[in-house]
Structure 1
Amino acid sequence: MSVVGGIAEVRRRHLAALAREVEARGLAWRFAGPEESLLAVYGPRTRRRLMVVATPAGDGWSYLWPGGGMADVTDLTAAADQLARLLT
């Protein structure tokens, strides 16, 4: 596996984990972008939406979204809670 292929796989794994968490909070989601590199998250009632990326940061990974949103991938609960507050 190439380094680039490895990063894409890790990114998708982190985004899939976040997708499960936001879905549990009543949000809708779908993968978007090349190689499913983004997570589109929707508030079904508000119709608000945003795109989330998972990116290497220091020794780990972080989720980033518009408006300065950021959370460590190891804290899925906090990330999903923040997104739910923005979209509901």
Structure 2
Amino acid sequence: MSVVGGREIAEVRRRHLAALACEVEARGLAWRFAGPGESLLAVSMPGTGRHLIVLATPSGDGWYYLWPAGGMADVARLNEVADRIHTLLG
């Protein structure tokens, strides 16, 4: 992978994570970027100490969110992903 290609992937990853951050925040969850180059999204339920990490990664011809407990969904299913994360942390 070239440096330019790596930079483009990092930018797309961050856009997907930022979109998810907005959705989980709308559901009352807290979040912050984490990891090298802010490549991960740390999401938590305020007041409970419950948290998880979400990754956005290219797969085939699309992008997917991945989270613990076998969570995986296409980034196009943004609202569903935010709902599922809220349920996991609730």
TM-score range, shorter chain: over 0.9
Match in the other structure for 1:57: 59
| Moved >3 Å (runs of 4+) | none
**Structure-1 separation of matches of 2:59 and 2:26:** 26
Q: 1:27 aligns with which of 26, 29, 36?
A: 29
Compute the TM-score of the two structures, normalised by the length of structure 1.
Answer: 0.96
Q: 1:81 aligns with which of 68, 80, 83?
A: 83
Unaligned runs of 5+ in 1: none
RMSD over aligned Cα atoms? 1.0
User: Relative to total residues, which structure has the larger helix share, 1 or 2?
Assistant: 2
Compute the TM-score of the two structures, normalised by the length of structure 2.
Answer: 0.94
Structure 2 SS opposite 1:2: helix
Amino acid at match of 2:70: G
TM-fit CA distance, 1:45: 3.0
* Fraction of identical pairs, as percent: 68
**Structure-1 separation of matches of 2:85 and 2:48:** 13
Structure 2 SS opposite 1:26: coil
Figure out how many residues of one structure are paired with residues of the other and give that number: 88
